[in-house]
Amino acid sequence: MRYPSVLFFYLSTLSYFVTFVLYLLHVVFHPHPRPLSPPRERGDGGEGATLGIIAASASWGLSNIAWGVWATRALLASVILSGAGVIARAIELGNASQWVKVLLLPLSTTYETLTFFSWLIPLIYFVMERKFQIKQVGVFVTGAAFVMLSVAASPSVAPNAPTGVPPSLQSYWLTIHVLFMVLGIAFFTSGFGATLVYLWRRYEKKLFLLFGALLAAIALTIFFVIPLFATLQPAKMLAAVALFGLLCAGFGGLLLFVHREQRPVAWEFLENIEEMVYRCNALGFPFYAIGGFVFGAIWAEQAWSRYWGWDPKETAMLVAALVYAVYLHARLTWGARDAGWRGGLVAWLSVLGYLAVLYAWIGINYFVSSLHSFV
């Protein structure tokens, strides 16, 4: 094989898929973190009863397997394989660019960013899982890692041939800037996965209604609000602002209605999941904000002779950081006084923040012309 890193990432892809299946089995057979009792025979007799007892016994046998333990072991093996791929990629880049050899940070292209994230995000989640013992989030994290490596395997999307780094980007500040940003995004990703688990437990079937309304509001904003506002015509700009306010009010009203109608969730680990969401977002925010606003500004001044230029990616990053700042403020103020706010309503700010981060990271690269589109 031409590049050893490709082999390691190929093995990691298979390993993450197996890990994803193991976490999925854990969610299916251990939906609630409490021991299950073996099925007891009932005296109603008959062939149907016998088949029912056999099926129940088989189900209990599968439920008795420690899927979560095996999933965690497989996750550790996947992280090790992916880490070996990252190291191999750094060595390959060093052969193409002496500057990269000094820093050993493979983050100069989309391929390297995806493969680096496929190692860093599961690694951070592994640490969080050891602390909070919440394994359901592993379905999202390992699934995301598998998708990232699958996309990276497509040469048309992310070519894997090592290339040199442009002279304008050869700066230690760029390395620090990118490293802090990816650390922040990695923490946000684990926090988003925990948020999905929390909302799933909190709203159950109504979660599909809420996510459908949220995605519809986002789609209308992208296709109607932003084009109207971009015309720079006062009447259309006012219409865009009014439409955006209407969409926000509509989703907020639906969320309040569903939240108030929701019955209390009798799950003892619900608060533990919410605490994991808060810790991940609280740890990710300083990395993301400092990496973007401080280290990014220093590097931008060296590369483009200005600290801030309202570039689309800079603006999108600012919006994402503001959403997470509002989340942390709401969690520490309203959430401290009202468990209902902390439990369900504040969690949606975590969802909005992560969607903004995804747009700033991926959306700008492929849909908007930007100075940062090379990443």
- pLDDT tens digits, 34-80: 444 444 444 455 555 554 554 444 455 566 778 888 999 999 999 99
Statement to judge: residues 250 and 184 lie in one domain? yes
Number of domains in the chain: 2
Statement to judge: residues 350 and 263 lie in one domain? yes
Q: Which DSSP string corresponds to 168-224?
A: GG--HHHHHHHHHHHHHHHHHHHHHHHHHHHHHHHHTTHHHHHHHHHHHHHHHIIII
Statement to judge: residues 272 and 356 lie in one domain? yes
Domain encompassing residue 35: 1-164
Q: What is the value of pTM for the model shown?
A: 0.82
Statement to judge: residues 197 and 100 lie in one domain? no
Statement to judge: residues 212 and 80 lie in one domain? no
Which among 164, 179, 214 is the end of a domain?
Answer: 164
Statement to judge: residues 281 and 371 lie in one domain? yes
Which position has the higher pLDDT, 168 or 226?
226
C-alpha angle 184-291-179 in degrees, rounded to nearest 5? 65
Find, among 73, 114, 134, 104, the residue nearest to 276 by Cα: 134
- pLDDT tens digits, 334-351: 766 666 666 677 888 899
- Most confidently predicted of 83-87, 256-260, 335-339: 83-87
In angstroms, what CA-CA distances link 72 with 60, 78, 148, 195? 21, 10, 20, 20
Statement to judge: residues 160 and 195 lie in one domain? no
Fill in the amino acid letter for 89: R
Statement to judge: residues 154 and 170 lie in one domain? no
Statement to judge: residues 139 and 235 lie in one domain? no
Which among 119, 141, 164 is the end of a domain?
Answer: 164
Q: How far apart are CA 6 and CA 85, in angstroms?
A: 7
- Most confidently predicted of 2-6, 183-187, 344-348: 183-187
Contact, 104 vs 90, CB < 8 A?
yes
Which among 112, 130, 164 is the end of a domain?
Answer: 164
Statement to judge: residues 198 and 54 lie in one domain? no
Statement to judge: residues 230 and 130 lie in one domain? no
Statement to judge: residues 53 and 197 lie in one domain? no
